[in-house]
């Protein structure tokens, strides 16, 4: 699998990180490319989904900036192709700001979502955070897996294998994305604690919370669809309105 390049600096950023910018609007593409180039990134541009597939196959990238509305091949279809071979971070940039589009994008394996129009400063910050997380995880994972024996948590009918990043329910494996797994792990490891959305974002995304609660809402809804018998009446992750979320209570 294609992985982000190793960290070169103390802050987790290599100033020659290479980005694939997939954007059919030439004005937006020029603006984003110029800004990120000044920030020290190498930016490769594609203007439609088919061109993006060709360029992605031709070289290694540290992150993909992906618009959803593309000619020839949609952003969703391109994202599916990427996830067949790579865990490279994908940041969706789109004017489609509805929950449905966020659910589709994040459910198909995107790592983050920023709605147009966006601040260039925020965009650069999110890019750097996503690359830093991906690279630090890749560097730390082998050391974490080698010495530690498997650690398994049981919550109701769920069995959460922290070592192998797997979850099963009544013996059937659940297909969780990385973010969904880490959300569930956060609550399972701290069963009595109530988490605000800012705390969840800080813990799972390892970044400052920008107030875009829809990102958390979408991931939470997708997770509940997979672990709950009735997602409309969740028992595993409870909502405390106006406060946050906590793990449901289960007998020993």
Q: How many alpha carbons fall within 13 Å on the CB side of residue 125?
A: 12
If 0-12 CB within 10 Å is exposed, 13-18 middle and 19+ buried, where does residue 200 land?
buried
Q: How many alpha carbons fall within 13 Å on the CB side of residue 171?
A: 0
* 67-94 confidence digits (pLDDT tens): 888 999 988 889 888 887 788 888 888 7
Q: What percent of the chain has pLDDT over 90?
A: 27
| pTM > 0.85: yes or no | no
- Range of weakest confidence among 16-20, 65-69, 210-214: 210-214
* 114-126 confidence digits (pLDDT tens): 888 888 988 898 8
């Amino acid at each position: 699998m294609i992985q982000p390049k190793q960290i070169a600096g103390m802050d987790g950023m290599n100033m020659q990180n290479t980005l694939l910018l997939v954007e059919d609007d030439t004005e937006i593409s020029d603006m984003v490319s110029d800004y990120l180039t000044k920030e020290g990134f190498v930016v490769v541009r594609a203007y439609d989904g088919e061109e993006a597939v060709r360029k992605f196959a031709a070289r290694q990238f540290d992150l993909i900036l992906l618009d959803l509305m593309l000619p020839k091949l949609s952003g969703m279809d391109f994202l599916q192709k990427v996830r067949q071979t790579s865990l490279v971070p994908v940041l969706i940039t789109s004017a489609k700001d509805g929950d449905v589009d966020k659910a589709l994008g994040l459910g198909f394996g995107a790592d983050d979502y920023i709605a147009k129009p966006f601040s260039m400063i925020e965009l650069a910050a999110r890019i750097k955070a996503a690359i830093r997380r991906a690279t630090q995880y890749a560097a730390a994972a082998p050391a974490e897996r080698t010495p530690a024996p498997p650690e398994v948590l049981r919550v109701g009918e769920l069995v959460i294998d922290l070592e192998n990043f797997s979850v099963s329910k009544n013996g059937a494996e659940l297909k969780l994305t990385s973010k969904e797994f880490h959300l569930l792990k956060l609550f399972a490891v701290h069963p009595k604690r109530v988490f605000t959305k800012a705390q969840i974002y800080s813990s799972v995304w390892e970044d400052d919370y920008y107030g875009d609660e829809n990102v958390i809402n979408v991931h939470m809804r997708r997770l509940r669809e997979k672990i709950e018998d009735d997602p409309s009446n969740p028992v595993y992750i409870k909502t405390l309105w106006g406060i946050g979320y906590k793990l449901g209570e289960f007998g020993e």
